[in-house]
Structure 1
Amino acid sequence: MLSNDLPGRAELVRRASELVPTLRKFATWNEENRRVHDDAVAALAEAGIFRLRTPQRYGGYECDTRTLVDVAAELARGDGSTAWTASVYWIPTWMASHFPDHVQDTVFASPDSLICGTLSPSAMAAPAEGGIVVNGKWGFITGALHSKWQAVIAVLIAPEAEPMPVLALVPTSDLHIVDDWHTAGLKGTGSVSTVAQDLFVPQDRFLPLGAVLQGQGVSHANQSSGIYQAPLLPVASASSVGVALGLARAALDAFTQRLADRKITYTNYTSQREAPITHLQLADAAMRVDEAQFHAHRLAALVDRKAAEQAPWTIHERVLARADMGAAVQRAREAVETLANASGGSSIYLDVPIQRIQRDIQALSLHALMHPNTNTELYGRLLSGLEPNTLYV
C-alpha cells in the first residue's frame, strides 16, 4: 500500500526498480497484443508511478524532473513500451494541471487518473454556444486504451478572428478509437488513433495552446508550484528522455547476461568475453550510456532549477533543453546499436530481449520531438545567430 507521506526520489526509483521483473514478464505479451497488460498498469498504479505529476491536493506527488528521468529509466530496464506509456502520461497530466481548478476536480477525481494526449493540431474546432465543437483525428495516442481523458489539440476557426490552436480535455469515452497500431517498435504502447465527430467541449475545458506552451495556465491552486510554470517543451522533453537512457541500460544488462556462455561462431573464441573486439564494443557502449545520462540529467537539472527560481526562460535555455534531449537519445541509440551488432545471429530470436530493445530505441528516436537531428539542427541554428524556426521551444 502507498504511504500518505510524499515519497522522495530514492523511494520512487526503488519502487520502479522493483517493478522491473514484472514488466519484463509482460514485455512479450505487450508486443503480441499491441498494448500494455492490465496487470502491468495496475502494478504501476500501485507503485504510485502515475502520480508523479499529479497535484498534491489530489494525492499526487508533484515530483521534480530528475525523479521523472530516473523512474522512467528504471521502468525501461523492464520494458520500453511500458516505460514510454508511463512517461507520456506524465505530460498530459501536467497539461491538465493548467485548467480551471473545478475542471481539475473532475479530471483528478482519482490520483491515478490516466490522461493521454498529443501536441499535434490535427483537428478543427468551431465556436458553439457555451463552447466549441471539435472534429478530427489524432494519431500516436499512447496509452489511449487505458485512459479516461485525452488532451487534444484543434485549430479553432472563429468569424473575424485569426485561427487559434486550442488544447482541450475530453473524456476518452467520447472519442472513437481506431485500432491502427501495427508497428516495428514500441509495439506494446497501444498508441492508436482517436477520432472526434461533432464533439462538444464546454468553455471551461479548453485553453489557448500558446498559453500552455508557455506554462501559463488559469489554475489558481497551482500558481505557487514551480513545476507548472515551466514551458511545455522542456517539460515534455525531460518527461520522456529517461526512457531512452533506460533502454540503453537494458541493452547493457541483456548483453552482459549472455556474454560468458556465448561463443563467437566460426572462431576459436569459446566465450565472447575473451575477444578484444568485445572489450572495445562493450566499453564504447558503456561510455555512450554515461554520456546519455549526462545529457538527461543536465536537462532535468535545468528544468528543476528554473522551476525552483520561477524565473523566465531564455530562448537559449529552451533550445538547449531540446538539444540535451536529442543528444541523450542519440547516445543511447548508438549504445544499443553497438551491443545489438555484437550480439550475433542468435539475437534475432524474439525471446532474446536485445532485438526488442533495438526496435524500441529506433522507434523512440524517430519521434518528432525526440529526433536527434531535429534537435541538433535547432541548437546549431541558434548558435549561428538565427531565431528558432518552430513554435515548439
Structure 2
Amino acid sequence: MTTTEAPGRTELAGRAAELVPLIREHAAWQEEHRALHPDVLAAVRDAGLLKMRVPLRYGGFESDVRTVCDVVAELARGDGSVGWTANTQMLSSWLIGLFPDEVQDEVFADPDVFVGSSVSPNGVATPAPGGVVVNGEWAFSTGVLHSGWFAHSALLAEPDGGYAPIVLAIPVADLGVVDDWHTVGMRGTGSVKTVAKDLFVPQARVLPLMPVVLHGAHLSERNADSATWRAPFSPVSAAVAGAVPLGMARAAREVFLERLPGRKITYTDYESQAEAPLTHLQVARATLKVDQAAFHVQRAADRVDGKVRAGEAWSVEERAVARMDMGAATALAKEAVDLLSEASGGSSIYTDRPIQRIARDVRTINLHGVLHPNTNLELYGRVLCGLEPNTHLF
C-alpha cells in the first residue's frame, strides 16, 4: 500500500482526451462483441483513470467529483459504452470505500482491480451465522465481464417481516453470469445478468444502504477524514452519470462537423450542406443544448465538491436538484444528438457512420431507470410541491 500525490483535473482529463482516438478505433468492435476491447481497457488502466475514486493508501487519487465528471465525459466522447463502464467502475470503487477497512484491503489488494455495481435491490439476503445468504438475479450488471469484485444491492430480511436495503461486496467468481446483453444501444458495456444462488456473504461485506444514501455514513475508519467519502451517494452518482450523455453529445457534434465539408443536400441546389441556413440553425441549436447539458453536469459536480469542502448538510431540495440536473443533462444530450442525426442525411444509417451508434446509445441511456428525464423531473416537482420524494435513491 502506498500514498501518492494525486494528479489534478487538467492532467487526468488530458489523459482521457488522449485516449479518444484509440477508443473510437475500437468502438465498432466493442459494439459487435458486447464488451470493452482489451486494448481500451488496458489503456484506461495504464492512464490511471480507474484509480480516481480509490483511497490514497492503495495508490488511488481520491479525485473530486468535478474531475471525475470531466474524465468520464471525455471517455464517453470516444464511446458512450466506455464512458458508462468507467462511470460505473468509479462509483463502485467509491462504494467499496464505504465498507470496513478489512474489506477494502481485500478488494484493493490488486492495484488494477476493476469493480462493478448495481443499485437495483434485486436480491434477498437472509441472516445467517457470521453473515447473510443471498439469492437473486441482477440485470444490467455493467462491468462484470471485466471485474474482480461487484457491489450488488439487495434487501435484507428483518425479524419483523420487513426488508432493509443493503449493498454486498461479492467476488465476481462467486456470481453466475447470463449472457443476455443483446440490445440496440450501449452494447459495448456488456451489461449482462448476474445471479447469486444460496451465496454466503460474510457480515463485513454487508453495508446498510440507507445511511449511505441519506447521510454519507459508512463503516470505514481510515476513510473517515477523507472528503471523498463525506458526500451522500445520490448527488455523487447523479453528477457522474450525467457526464456520460454529455460526452456522447459532444462526440455527435464532432463527427457531424467532420463530415460536413463537401457534403451536399440531395435533391436540392445546395452544393454544400454547410451553406444552407437550415444547417446553421441545426448546428447552433445542437451546440446550445450541448452547452446546457454541460452546465447541469458541472453545476451538480461543483455543488457536491463545494458542500463537502464547507462541511454543509444537504437539504431535500438540493438532493432533488442533483437528480434534476442529471435528468436535464440526459434529455438535452439526446435532443442535441437527435438534431445532428437528422441533419446527417441518408448515408448516416450505414453502420460505419459513428452518428448512428451515438444516436442509439444516447436513446438507450435516456431509458435508464435512474437517468430517465421524466422520472427526475417528476421527483424535482414533487419536492417543490412539498411532497416527500418517492424513491430510496435520494
TM-score range, shorter chain: over 0.9
Residue 29 of structure 2 corresponds to 29
Residue 356 of structure 1 corresponds to 357
- Contact kept? 2:143, 2:190, Cα under 8 Å: yes
- Contact kept? 1:119, 1:152, Cα under 8 Å: yes
Pair 376,160 (structure 1): closer, same or farther in 2 beyond 3 Å: closer
State the secondary structure of the residue aligned to 1:368: coil
Residue 264 of structure 2 corresponds to 263
Residue 105 of structure 1 corresponds to 105
Q: Distance in 2 between matches of 1:235 and 1:51?
A: 16
State the secondary structure of the residue aligned to 2:265: coil
- Provide Cα deviations, 1:286-340, integer angstroms capped at 9, x if missing partner: 0111101111100001111111123221111100000111111111110000000
- Contact kept? 1:96, 1:151, Cα under 8 Å: yes
Larger CA deviation: 158-167 vs 128-137: 158-167
Offset at 1:161? Answer: 5.5
- Contact kept? 1:88, 1:239, Cα under 8 Å: no
Residue 278 of structure 1 corresponds to 279
Offset at 1:77? Answer: 1.4
Query: 1:318-357 residue pairs with structure 2 within 5 A?
Result: 318-357=319-358
Q: Distance in 2 between matches of 1:160 and 1:291?
A: 48
- Provide Cα deviations, 1:191-218, integer angstroms capped at 9, x if missing partner: 0010001100011110111122131101
State the secondary structure of the residue aligned to 2:322: helix
2:235 partner letter: P
Residue 392 of structure 1 corresponds to 393
- Contact kept? 1:119, 1:153, Cα under 8 Å: yes
* Percent of matched pairs sharing the same residue: 53
Q: Which runs of 5+ in 2 are unaligned?
A: none
1:230 partner letter: A
- Provide Cα deviations, 1:180-236, integer angstroms capped at 9, x if missing partner: 000011010000010001100011110111122131101011111122121111111
Q: Distance in 2 between matches of 1:159 and 1:338?
A: 54
Q: Distance in 2 between matches of 1:323 and 1:265?
A: 40
2:114 partner letter: L
2:379 partner letter: L
Residue 67 of structure 1 corresponds to 67
Q: TM-score, normalised by structure 2?
A: 0.97
Residue 315 of structure 1 corresponds to 316
- Provide Cα deviations, 1:333-372, integer angstroms capped at 9, x if missing partner: 1000000001000000011100001111111111111111
1:127 partner letter: P
Q: Distance in 2 between matches of 1:4 and 1:213?
A: 29
Residue 237 of structure 2 corresponds to 236
Pair 326,338 (structure 1): closer, same or farther in 2 beyond 3 Å: same
Residue 38 of structure 2 corresponds to 38
Q: Which runs of 5+ in 1 are unaligned?
A: none
Residue 251 of structure 2 corresponds to 250
Offset at 1:5? Answer: 3.5
Q: Distance in 2 between matches of 1:238 and 1:88?
A: 12
State the secondary structure of the residue aligned to 1:247: helix
Residue 184 of structure 1 corresponds to 184
Moved over 2 A (4+): 158-162
Q: Distance in 2 between matches of 1:130 and 1:170?
A: 15
- Contact kept? 1:54, 1:111, Cα under 8 Å: no
Offset at 1:268? Answer: 1.0
1:380 partner letter: G
- Contact kept? 1:179, 1:193, Cα under 8 Å: yes
RMSD: 1.2
- Provide Cα deviations, 1:75-122, integer angstroms capped at 9, x if missing partner: 111111111101111111111101111110111113332111111111
- Contact kept? 2:6, 2:63, Cα under 8 Å: no
Offset at 1:261? Answer: 1.6
- Provide Cα deviations, 1:106-149, integer angstroms capped at 9, x if missing partner: 11113332111111111111111111111111010111000000
Q: Distance in 1 between matches of 2:7 and 2:87?
A: 18
2:383 partner letter: L
State the secondary structure of the residue aligned to 1:287: helix
State the secondary structure of the residue aligned to 2:169: strand
State the secondary structure of the residue aligned to 1:120: strand
Larger CA deviation: 376-385 vs 36-45: 376-385
Offset at 1:160? Answer: 3.8
Residue 195 of structure 1 corresponds to 195
Offset at 1:389? Answer: 1.7
Query: 1:41-190 residue pairs with structure 2 within 5 A?
Result: 41-160=41-160, 162-190=162-190
1:167 partner letter: V
Give the total of aligned pairs. Answer: 391
1:12 maps to 2:12 = yes
- Provide Cα deviations, 1:249-299, integer angstroms capped at 9, x if missing partner: 100001001111211110111111011100000000001111011111000
